[in-house]
Amino acid sequence: MRRLLLFDIDGTLVLGGPAKDAFHVALMETFGTAGAIEVHSFAGKTDPQIARELLQGAGVTDADIDAGFPRLWARYLSYLEERLPANPVRVLPGVRPLLEALGERTDVGLALLTGNIAPGAELKLASAGLWRHFRTGSFGSDHEERDELPSIALRRAREAWGVSLSPRDAVVVGDTPRDVQCGRKIGMHTLGVATGHHTVSDLETAGAERVLADLSDTAGVLALLTE
């Protein structure tokens, strides 16, 4: 394996689902407030970062936030799992054939780089039949700051595949400027995909080396990811 491909989840692989509603209910039950959740941007942020921003905005102290996090995540995961069958995530165009094609190659490794906490990532992707494609990754439960996740993913990939990998051997695939920026920060390649809430122009401005409207051109995307 010579190339590590790090995929974001929401807006890159899937859209929709009950996560925001589950998060809202869990915040209310744990802290008595969900802050300004209806207008708050989740894009490119980790789950703990989103929760902290919402709760700080509602006047909750960091000490109380940290103390409540274990209860919050337990409730969130319970509600997410309960609601996924009735409100499934939607797999974005080209994702299934791309992952299948990549899985047949021995020169690439597939991993995740996502702000989702790890059990939430598994619930979402498993519900869509996509979890099996990913051997390892880094998650919002590993660090609250997204910029710290690429180095964690790289270390885990080295351990999982038993190979030597540098940041230039990795490609971050994501739909937000934060996805692009976190990869660029440690020298990874970046592929922006405008399937979330950001435009091609937004992703180009953020510094993505390549930007696509979506992942539907399997052969073309394979060429970009493995060249």
Q: Which residue has the tokens 């991993």?
A: 111
Residue 132: both structure tokens together: 């099996």
Q: Which residues of 3-12 are buried (b: 16+ CB within 10 A; e: fewer)?
A: bbbbbbbbbb
Residue 82: both structure tokens together: 């309960």
Predicted confidence (pLDDT) at residue 227 exceeds the cutoff of 90: no
Q: How many folded domains does the chain comprise?
A: 2
> What residue numbers bound the domain in which 55 lies?
19-83
Helices (H), ranges, 110-193? 118-127, 149-161, 177-185
Element of type H or E holding 192: strand 189-193
Specify the pTM: 0.96
Calculate mean pLDDT across residues 8-20.
97
Q: Which of 42, 64, 83 is the last residue of a domain?
A: 83
Predicted confidence (pLDDT) at residue 115 exceeds the cutoff of 90: yes
Task: Give yes or no: residues 24 and 45 share one domain.
Answer: yes
Task: Give yes or no: residues 26 and 7 share one domain.
Answer: no
- Supply the pLDDT for residue 132: 98
